[in-house]
Amino acid sequence: MQKIRYKLSAALLIFIFISASAVSSASASLATQPAGIDILRQSQQALIKLIDKLSPEVVAITVGRVVKLPKRKGAGADTKPYETLLVPVRGSGCIISRNGQILTNEHLIHQAKIIRVTLWNGREYEAKLVGADVRSDLAVIRIVDKVSLTACKFGDLRKVRRGQFVLAMGNPLGLAFDGQAAVSFGIVSAIGRHVTDVDREADRYYGNLIQTTAQINVGNSGSPLFNLDGQVIGINTIISSTSVGGSHLGFAIPISKWTKNIIDKLRRGKQIEYGYLGILLADIAGQNGAMVVKVVKTSPAGIAGLKPKDIIVKYDNQKVINVDHLIMLIGQSKPGRRVRITVERAGKLINLTAKVARRRDYVK
């Protein structure tokens, strides 16, 4: 009987030990749980504060654009074979001056008859075009009434890194009619992306773009892409849709020294002039420079002696990194200026001189 009692006591001690251990583990788990949740809450609160701070810098834009449609039978006796409709187009923008200047996409306000802007507080204003540039797809509009607004701050492409967190705030699907900008959160997926065959007939150039996982939809055109410091690092512009799973990629025009220069000119109502050589280019895998694919014979490049398969390694004494870099250098060149071009041809370096032309004299 004593032996049995001893065994029971031992079993009870073991049970108490195991139970105590379980309670101790549970207590430890409960003790550590709030710390983790607190970190999430703190991050969430910081994000909410940032969004509240940035909201007054973002606007929803509604454009009235005239569209010509084939005339219906019996729709009138005049001789025009079409009828016109004023179609609403919706997008976004960010405020860049206290007096109501707003940065957006050119393709949004293209041929606009009416431009209306809705602020974060729901107030709506008429706006007018200040300056627009088709090639960069950037435009500046201004609220007609006298206002005092909060302007955004620009970041710098040189500090943008893959993997950094970003916020896209705008008017997707035209749902921000109350002024409340929709927010999406993501990361920078890639830098220096080049998207081809988009609005080619308009001579747009979508190069050196920021690719992001932040959700971007129709209506986000012209919306700002913010970093966690509240700086605009890009203007959300295009999405690349796929037929697989219905997913798409978002791209933003980066805020760089080049785009800041364009924006500054547009704010003053100036036309953007681009240099032109007359060459079609291609990147070279694993190598700096840009390969000439085609040369327009009567262009500055043709007159200078550039040939297909030439690899341009230097332009105006600057090393060429890739096609995007060279296109930017050519675009920045003042028309009428003579530039030195170093090419690699059949293993030899050759120096050529070209006189830069004005792009709009060649490309309509």
Q: Give every CB contact of residue 263 below 8 A, 6+ residues apart in sequence.
A: 96, 103, 138, 140
User: Taking the CB of residue 210, how many other CB atoms lie within 10 A of it?
Assistant: 26
Q: Are 142 and 117 in contact (CB under 8 A)?
A: no
Residue 321 and residue 288: Cα distance in Å, rounded? Answer: 5
Strand pairing report for 153-154 and 231-241: parallel
Stated as kind and residue range, the H or E segment containing 286 is none
Q: Sign of the C-alpha dihedral, residues 29, 34, 35, 37?
A: positive
User: Taking the CB of residue 31, how many other CB atoms lie within 10 A of it?
Assistant: 9
Local structure of 116: helix, strand or coil? strand
Stated as kind and residue range, the H or E segment containing 8 is helix 2-54
Q: Are 118 and 253 in contact (CB under 8 A)?
A: no
Residue 199 and residue 178: Cα distance in Å, rounded? Answer: 31
Place of tokens 């950094």: 164
* 169 phi, psi to nearest 5 deg: -130, 125
Q: Are 182 and 167 in contact (CB under 8 A)?
A: no
User: Which DSSP letter does residue 71 get?
Assistant: P
Catalytic residues: 107, 137, 221
* Cross-strand bridge partners of residue 355: 338
Residue 135 and residue 16: Cα distance in Å, rounded? Answer: 77
* Cross-strand bridge partners of residue 165: 187
Nearest residue to 213 (alpha-carbon basis) of 223, 221, 225, 199: 225
